[in-house]
Amino acid sequence: MSAASPETTAHIAFQSLPVIDVSGLRSGDARQRQKSADALGKAARDAGFLYVTGHGISSELIDRFRKRVREYFQQSHDEKMRDYIGYSVNHSGYVPEGEEQFYGAKAPDRKEAYDVNFDMLEPEHARPMLGPNQWPELDGFKTDVKAYYDEVFQLGNLLFRGFALALELPEDSFTRHVNRPPSQLRLIHYPYNPDVPTDRPGIGAHTDYECFTILKPTAPGLEVMNGAGEWIDVPVLEDAFVINIGDMMEILSNGLYVATSHRVRKVAEERYSFPMFCNLDYDVRIEPLPQLISKERPARYEPQVCGEHLFAQTAQTFQYLKKRLERGELELPKGSKGLSSFGREAGGQR
């Protein structure tokens, strides 16, 4: 099977997201790390979405980062288009409104973005989603945005260790494969326009392609689907990050953790959102971990190459990549999945 069957979706009919303090994952006491990991794992199984506190990232660093992002998006459209993502070699740069469109969307999303990837400067390791970032000339942007990227990247490694412990695996089972990952930070701007129809979403319903996402939003708008198929609002908790399970972790966990569908409704105020999509290295083969396969729970997913899955999904979503596919300049990797092959979307569950 390419994705979980409907009956394997274990999410409960949650009405709010669990809040997990992950500071214990830094403890020198193995029992304390396991206790925090177990709480993290339970939230991932029950909801696939959760808040984390105790993350250790300073509010001052976050404030500087937000300031630079606002400065960038206050520029004119022509100024921003000088950094158009289609000019990059690693899928980094400015994403204008309408450039990307998710599965089943009836209209373009109401947002613009700037995408920042792992800044990989070694040509011998270049891949379609891996290379040197395209950085704008705006003063202080690279310094403050990269500082934020690096801190959240380390939080991702902490969570990778936590998920490994929660799945009863060696603590470094995932982090040993995090060296040059195609892990992307998106700087997303949702402008407020009262004249936009109510049915024009900020982002249409989807699951995330990677292992998990670390999100920092500035205003309400995010909704997630619970186990009963209901859309649940996700309020902003100022000192917390929002975490959600993605496609790759669904495969690795053999469906114990299921990617959760989410969307952003029409915003009631200007909104910024900063998702960090945490991945393993590009060439890592993603398949159900042997320790999580049994006679009672056989392997439920076909293997995927981590970076190839990300590239295939991205190439089917972004206009500039779609055009290259149509012109024969690009090819999807062999065995690529179509959009919405995981979570509740799999098998037409939405």
pLDDT of residue 10: 74
The answer for 181, left when phi > 0, alpha when psi is -120 to 50, beta otherwise, is beta
- Domain regions of the chain by residue span: 6-345
What residues does 34 pair with on adjacent strands? none
Per-residue pLDDT band for 319 (boundaries 50, 70, 90) equals very high
Fold (topology level) of 6-345: Jelly Rolls (2.60.120)
Counts of helices then strands in the chain (DSSP H, E): 7, 14
Q: What are phi and psi of 173, to 5 degrees?
A: -60, -35
Mean pLDDT of 248-274: 89
Measure the CA–CA gap between 174 and 282, rounded to whole angstroms.
13
Q: Which two tokens stand for residue 91?
A: 């899928």
What would the mean pLDDT of 323-338 be, rounded to a whole number?
84
Phi, psi of 271 (to 5 degrees): -140, 140
pLDDT at 74 over 50: yes
- CA 152, CA 139: separation in Å to the nearest integer? 22
C-alpha span between 167 and 71 (Å, rounded): 42
Q: E-assigned strands of the chain? A: 19-21, 49-53, 93-95, 112-116, 184-190, 203-206, 212-217, 222-225, 231-233, 241-245, 262-264, 271-278, 285-286, 304-305
Q: How many residues does the chain have?
A: 350
DSSP class of 234: -
- Is the pLDDT reported for residue 162 higher than 50? yes
Task: For tokens 């689907």, name the residue.
Answer: 225
Beta bridge partners of 278: 212
pLDDT value at residue 3: 36
Cβ contact 23:54 at 8 Å: yes
Calculate mean pLDDT across residues 182-192. 93
Neighbours of 295 (CB within 10 A): 5
More confident residue, 325 or 7: 325
User: What is the distance between the alpha carbons of residues 260 and 248, in angstroms, rounded to a whole number?
Assistant: 12
The model's confidence at residue 6, banded by pLDDT at 50, 70 and 90, is very low
Query: What backbone phi and psi angles, to 5 degrees, belong to 184?
Result: -115, 135
For 190-220, write each residue's pLDDT tens digit: 887 776 655 555 567 778 889 999 999 999 8
Which residue is associated with the tokens 């705006």? 138
Q: In terms of pTM, does the model score above 0.85?
A: yes
Res 195: pLDDT: 62
Beta-strand ranges (E) seen in 80-230 are 93-95, 112-116, 184-190, 203-206, 212-217, 222-225
The rounded mean pLDDT for the chain is 89
